[in-house]
Amino acid sequence: MKRSIAVIAMSVVMLTTFTSMQQDVSAANSSVVTRGHIENGVNLRDKPSLSGRVIGLLKKGSDVTVLERSNDYFYKVQSGDGSIGYVSASDKYISVGETAATPTPSPQGASAVVKYGVNFRDEPSASGRVLGMLRKGSAVTVLERSNNYFYKVLTESGQIGYVSTSDKYLEIGGTVPGPTPTVPVPSVPTPSPAPAPGAPSISERIESVIRTGQKYLGTPYEFGSDRSTTTSFDCSDFVRQAYREALDIVLPADSRKQGQWVRDNGTAVYDIGSLKRGDLVFFMEYRGSSPSAYQGVDVNNERITHVSIYLGDGQLLHTYSAKSGGVRVDKFDGSWKHRFLYGGSVLK
């Protein structure tokens, strides 16, 4: 009798310990949810990739909930209005209170062995970025069949990615789960004169561009500067950097193509008095400081040689020579007025 009681008691202790271990494992697998602060305006996309559709813009100074770090380059976040999407993980755009954990999936699924070397991608698509190659003979866990062409798999090193469903590549033992249900991403609101709730207005976006440009005041001038750095600028590189960094709008790389871009995508303005803050302003080559040097010049046949950002109140933000001191603010007078061709807004 005593022996039976002892066995029962031992069984209860083992069951309690096993249950506790299961709970600890479950807690270890849960994702960390933390707060994020938007340092600079950043696009909210419908998938964790630069090819993702832009569904909104998170304003500088706003707070979000970081749901997970989806990959090396994107966080999955929920904004203050409840929208869920993906933003760049660069600390230029977002700061987080603690490291957002990459979701650790439970390794429930079908075990598989790689039969033939296969590309390991970051999206269930042939256009997905190749993260590496899974070698023949390596083992993976197939988490789901994401679509007709790709499995979502977990490697032995803990990486998650996607591989082809062709039976040429994997030998699977067991049943593969179906795709995990996803939270629907809000669709882009139909454009209207009034901005969508929470979305920055055009004037706010323009101010973001100007603030970005002004932080480079004094940066040296270099003709034909490297478009991938911010150590020096020529005029078109400076304008391009301000719009790309502030609004993720990538303008053409030279001033003539930028001028054509404004004509093709907006309304060209040929009267200085009609220019608005944030407009790009295009100029012909320098011929002299007096009005007479420009008499008889047909502006329609003149080639663009310079571009700047109009600040309003007769001021230009630009860079035009090493001697001038690099990025600076100048008055829109004298030869600048004589050289003026046209201007226009990048934003509609």
How far does Cα 240 stand from its chain's mean position? 16
Task: Read off the pLDDT of each residue in 21-36 and give the average, rounded to a whole number.
Answer: 47
Decide: 239 and 280 in contact? Cβ < 8 Å.
Answer: yes
Q: What tokens does 105 get?
A: 């999936």
pLDDT at 187 over 50: no
In this predicted structure, what is the pLDDT of residue 175?
67
Q: What is the pLDDT of residue 174?
A: 66
Longest dimension (CA), the chain: 119
Mean pLDDT for 29-58 is: 77
Q: What is the pLDDT of residue 140?
A: 87
Closest CA to 116 of 160, 166, 162, 170: 170
Q: Categorize the per-residue pLDDT at 99 as very low, low, confident or very high, splitting at 50, 70 and 90.
A: very low
Q: In what order do the strands lie in the sheet with 315-318?
A: 328-331, 315-318, 306-312, 280-283, 340-344
The four Cα atoms 11, 13, 17, 23 give a dihedral, to 10 degrees, of: 90
- Residue 343's pLDDT is 96
Q: pLDDT of 297-346, one tens digit each?
A: 888 889 999 999 999 999 999 999 999 999 999 999 999 999 999 999 99
pLDDT of residue 199: 63
For 62, 87, 197, the CA distances from 59, given in Å and listed in that order, are 6, 12, 12
What does the alpha-carbon distance between residue 177 and residue 147 come to, in Å, rounded to a whole number?
11
pLDDT at residue 108, rounded to an integer: 54
Spatial CA neighbour of 308 closest among 334, 340, 286:
340
| Ordered structural domains, the chain, with CATH | 34-96 (2.30.30.40), 110-173 (2.30.30.40), 202-344 (3.90.1720.10)
pLDDT of residue 33: 52
* The residue count for the chain: 348
pLDDT of residue 11: 45
- Scan for tokens 């977990």, then name that residue: 154
233-280 pLDDT, tens per residue? 999 999 999 999 988 888 999 999 999 999 888 788 999 999 999 999
pLDDT at 55: 85
User: Does 320 or 147 have the greater pLDDT score?
Assistant: 320
Confidence (pLDDT) at 143: 87
pLDDT of 103 reads: 43
Write a three-state SS string for the chain: CHHHHHHHHHHHHHHHHHHHHHHHHHHHHCCCCEEEEECCCEEEECCCCCCCCEEEEECCCCEEEEEEECCCCEEEEECCCCCEEEEECCCCCEEECCCCCCCCCCCCCEEEEECCCEEEECCCCCCCCEEEEECCCCEEEEEEECCCCEEEEEECCCCEEEEECCCCCEEEECCCCCCCCCCCCCCCCCCCCCCCCCCCCHHHHHHHHHHHHHCCCCCCECCCCCCCCCCCECHHHHHHHHHHHHHCCCCCCCHHHHHHHHHHHCCCECCHHHCCCCCEEEECCCCCCCHHHHCCCCHHHCCCCEEEEEEECCEEEECCCCCCCCCEEEECCCHHHHHEEEEECCCC
Quick one: how far is CA 277 from the chain centroid? 26
pTM: predicted TM-score of the whole model, two decimal places? 0.46
